[in-house]
Amino acid sequence: MAVTVLALIALTTAGCASVPYSDINDAVLAKGHVRRRLEVISGRYTLGAMDSIQVMVRDGGGLSGGHTIRPDGFITFEMVGDVYVEGMTPMTAADVIADALRVYVRDVDVTVRVTGFNSKQYYMFGETPGRGAKRFTGDVNILRAFAQAGGVTNRAAWDRIRLIRATRTTRQIFKINLGQIVKRGDWTTNVQIRENDVIYVPPTRMAQVGYFIDNLLFPFRSVFAARPTVRQITEPEDWW
């Protein structure tokens, strides 16, 4: 996975064609149409292993409760035993559980809510304090992602951010202008993030020159900066 991510980031500096972002569902989300927005999100997030869910059975007595999806994709539900829910949306999983319960309960209404998003991720790299893997919830756009990541560094090229979306058969690189989103309120590129998306924040041209000179003059600085000192690893007060 790490090799794939690095390869995708490399594409942004290799002259690959980028395209403006256009998706009717994302436009609906960005414009705040609440009713349609919920439909888009519900249809986008699928349950996976280690996700935590709350199953609520109306008038079901003690049937309601929390579950963690096992690595094999099943949850163990009272009365009906194992129920396979991996790959389903919460709405579909609720229908499957309800169908299984109808063998024992005639009138049943089931709702499934995700309480722990643990199975899916997206990634942020480059000039942002919040680099690394992030939990994908099905409802994260560019603005929210950067807000949660602590924004960007003072060396970031706000207008040259790239969102890289790849599957086994396709690859898309979208141009993101964070400056227009934040400073002008232009949400045209406030893209709705999807599972496994990679967001890369490049440095400015001037910062690139600075990094080059720094690496040329001080090639071992990063190695020494990361090396723990004797005091850091021996004095007890640093353990607490």
3-state SS string over 53-67?
Answer: EEEEECCCHHHCEEE
pLDDT digit string, tens, across residues 55-113: 999 876 788 899 999 999 999 988 889 999 999 989 899 999 999 998 888 788 999 99
pLDDT for the residue 21: 41
Taking residues 180-188, what's their average pLDDT? 86
Confidence class of residue 188 from pLDDT cuts 50, 70 and 90?
A: confident
Contact assessment for residue 108 and residue 101, using Cβ atoms and an 8 Å cutoff: yes
How many CB atoms sit inside 10 A of residue 17's CB? Answer: 7
Structure token digits, residue 130: 């919040």
pLDDT for the residue 211: 73
pLDDT for the residue 191: 83
First to last CA, the chain: 34
Cα–Cα distances (Å) from 217 to 55, 208, 214, in that order, read 59, 14, 5
The number of helices, as runs of H, and strands, as runs of E, in the chain is: 9, 10
pLDDT for the residue 235: 42
Domains and CATH numbers, the chain: 2-41+120-207 (3.10.560.10), 46-116 (3.30.1950.10)
Confidence class of residue 205 from pLDDT cuts 50, 70 and 90?
A: confident
pLDDT digit string, tens, across residues 223-237: 555 444 444 434 444
pLDDT for the residue 7: 47
